[in-house]
Amino acid sequence: MDEVDYVSGETRLFGIVGHPIEQVRSPEMITAELTRRGRNAILLPIDVLSDDFEACLAQLMRVRNLDGLVFTIPYKQAACRLASRLGEQALAVGAINALARDRDGGWIGEIFDGLGCVEAFRRAGQAFTDRRVMLIGAGGAGRAIAFAVASEKPKSLRIFDIDANRASGLAESIRAIHPEVDAHFGDPAVEGVDILMNASPVGMLNDPRMPIEVAKIPSDVVVFDAIVKPEQTRLLTLARESGCRTLFGRQMMHGQIGKVVDHFERHNGTESARPATAGA
């Protein structure tokens, strides 16, 4: 093979920034969606250490053929400072996972994790309305999921984080925006829970731990794990063995891929390049 056909001098660049980076799935999935829409573009993994984040990102954003960035652990909150304008979800959550170069020169941040998660449940025929939700993890992804789930009017939203203040602070923010939702801090539990969600990094890659220490999960609990690598975390294995319905991090990603690429295209000003789609 003399030349490859998926990258050229005219390719527009996107990146996913995180540390570690090997476990991310956006390169395969978002590149596929960009390509499907007819763009000569690729989304790359970009592995940046925390100490380098600020200086490195400031310079990456000056690369002229870079049109957008996705952020993953541990940068979803720090990335807010890079945006010249934040979307509605990002303002509530205090984190972003997508940053688009605007055709006017600014950078527009928004978070789609929570919306993608709700979309994944919707596609699986599962509603949050009037159900009791246990959420583990109040970091970037956890906050996004909490706000999006709260919009769906669950009966209750119990939130745990190893940093208890972070979890109770999130519950308080939820109640401020959604006073009708019983959002509160609570230890991990499977009793009195309809939907169990892990949005903490516990169980990622070679981490053998579980975000909740139980031997069995009641079979009527729906269990979701935001982790994408491994796909089958120990939590989800236990859930399957317990007879529970399970949802995967990859489904949350699938639920948001289209929304993230819409965000890029809307601000890059490339929507009208797609004949099949109405221009913006």
Binding site for a copy of itself (CB under 8 A): 1-11, 13, 16, 19, 21-25, 27-29, 31-32, 35-36, 42-49, 52, 55-56, 58-60, 62-65, 229
Measured over the CA atoms of residue 142, residue 165, residue 221 and residue 214, the dihedral's sign is positive
21 or 221: CB nearest a copy of itself: 21
242 or 251: CB nearest a copy of itself: 251
46 or 145: CB nearest a copy of itself: 46
Using CA atoms, how far residue 91 sits from 74, 80, 130, 183, 262, in Å, is 18, 9, 26, 19, 19
Q: How far is the CB of 61 from a copy of itself (least distance, A)?
A: 10
Q: How far is the CB of 60 from a copy of itself (least distance, A)?
A: 7
Q: Which amino acid is at 261?
A: V
Structural tokens at position 102: 């605007």
Q: How far is the CB of 189 from a copy of itself (least distance, A)?
A: 33
Cis-peptide into 154, omega within 30 deg = no
Q: Where are the alpha helices (DSSP H) in the chain?
A: 26-36, 53-60, 88-93, 113-123, 140-150, 164-177, 234-241, 249-268
State the Cα–Cα distance between residues 154 and 218, nearest whole angstrom: 19
72 or 242: CB nearest a copy of itself: 72
Structural tokens at position 225: 């794990």
Q: How far is the CB of 18 from a copy of itself (least distance, A)?
A: 9
Q: How far is the CB of 63 from a copy of itself (least distance, A)?
A: 6
Please count the CA atoms within 13 angstroms of the CA of 265 that sit on its side-chain side.
Answer: 25
How deeply is 63 buried, as exposed, middle or buried, from its count of CB atoms within 10 A (0-12, 13-18, 19+)?
A: exposed
34 or 134: CB nearest a copy of itself: 34
Beta-carbon neighbour count of residue 257 at 10 Å?
A: 19
Q: How far is the CB of 21 from a copy of itself (least distance, A)?
A: 6
Q: How far is the CB of 228 from a copy of itself (least distance, A)?
A: 9
16 or 174: CB nearest a copy of itself: 16
Contact at 8 Å (CB) between 97 and 113? Answer: yes
20 or 218: CB nearest a copy of itself: 20
Residue 274 backbone phi and psi in degrees, to 5: -95, 110
Q: How far is the CB of 200 from a copy of itself (least distance, A)?
A: 19
33 or 194: CB nearest a copy of itself: 33
Pairing of strands 107-110, 245-247: unpaired
